[in-house]
Amino acid sequence: MVFKINRAEFSSKEEFIKSGRRCGAPNPSDLQRDRVRREIASLRQSIKGRVESVTINVQFHHITRGSEGAITEEQRKKQMDVLNQAYSRKGIKFTYKPESVVTVNKPAWFSMGMGSIAESEAKTELQLAPENNLNIYTAELQSGLLGWATFPFDMAGNPKRDGVVVLYSTFPGGDAAPYNEGQTLTHEVGHWLGLYHTFQGGCGGMGDELDDTPSHEGPVFGCPGDGSNGACNPGEKAPIHNYMNYTDDGCMNEFTDGQFERIFDQILTYRSGLLIGPDAIIMENTP
């Protein structure tokens, strides 16, 4: 049976999985990861505070080819519900103004590739101040990719690229089943807030640098039953329900406490422009 996603055809779902064309978030080098760890540690030394709550303004940019790729207000609302459901447990909220939504009919940008001139042109023209806003672009994308995002620690070096790009049909009600319940955006926003894949580095490296997401050898697809599913350590199980894995949308329902802690560290260090309002940071007394 042919597995079709985003106009790309694969001989089966397994072929799509093997193609690795799912999330295009960059793979940070060990050097970059060291830098990020140092910078976060140093900020923690200087600021004795923690993020208490954050409300992030979303700017939607929908790139279309005629009516293809158009997103309805109902879909956006459902997508925002999915996003808020995933992040609200620790006080992270997303909001948007319906009147601010931008739809651009531009076939040349519609099938943009990651790192392409089309991507760069679209972002240069459309982006709203990335220091204070989450820019979300929807388009068709190339070669069956579902989405990609930039990391917080890359913003200073390339602010124009900052933001999240997802395949339009991954929004709730789209036709990218089993990835059409809105969790592609949840996953990509996770990268945008500084999270790595739960399988980052496989079993050999530093993993995702978190203690409460067991490391595993590679992405898990579908929604397999209970089992190790490639966990690196005996007795452990790969986190198949975690948003930063590759399982089906219907299988994902979890961020861990460690992931939220990492997100707050990343916001304080690299995205402090999101912290608006008197309750955003609770300062702790310095000894």
Nearer to Zn ion, 82 or 281 (CB): 82
Q: Is 125 a catalytic residue?
A: no
Nearer to Zn ion, 52 or 154 (CB): 154
- For the chain, where are the alpha helices, taking DSSP H only? 13-19, 30-46, 73-87, 107-110, 117-126, 183-192, 257-270
- Smallest distance from Zn ion to CB 182, Å: 15
Which residue from 267, 271, 244, 96 is spatially nearest to 183, judged by alpha carbons?
Answer: 244
Measured CA to CA, the distance from residue 282 to residue 112 in angstroms comes to: 41
Tokens for 50? Answer: 């923690």
CB 107 within 8 A of CB 139: no
Measured CA to CA, the distance from residue 131 to residue 107 in angstroms comes to: 28
Q: Measuring CA to CA, how many Å separate 14 from each of 90, 169, 175, 225?
A: 35, 20, 18, 17
Between the two ends of the chain, the Cα-to-Cα distance in Å is 65
- Smallest distance from Zn ion to CB 195, Å: 9
- Smallest distance from Zn ion to CB 95, Å: 24
Residue of closest CB approach to Zn ion: 23
Q: Is 217 exposed, middle or buried (0-12, 13-18, 19+ CB in 10 A)?
A: middle
- Smallest distance from Zn ion to CB 156, Å: 21
Residues of this chain that bind Zn ion (CB under 5 A): 23, 25
Q: Which of 119, 140, 181, 188 is catalytic?
A: 188
- Smallest distance from Zn ion to CB 184, Å: 9
Length of the chain in terms of residues written: 287
Nearer to Zn ion, 110 or 151 (CB): 151
Measured CA to CA, the distance from residue 230 to residue 244 in angstroms comes to: 15
The catalytic site residues sit at: 188
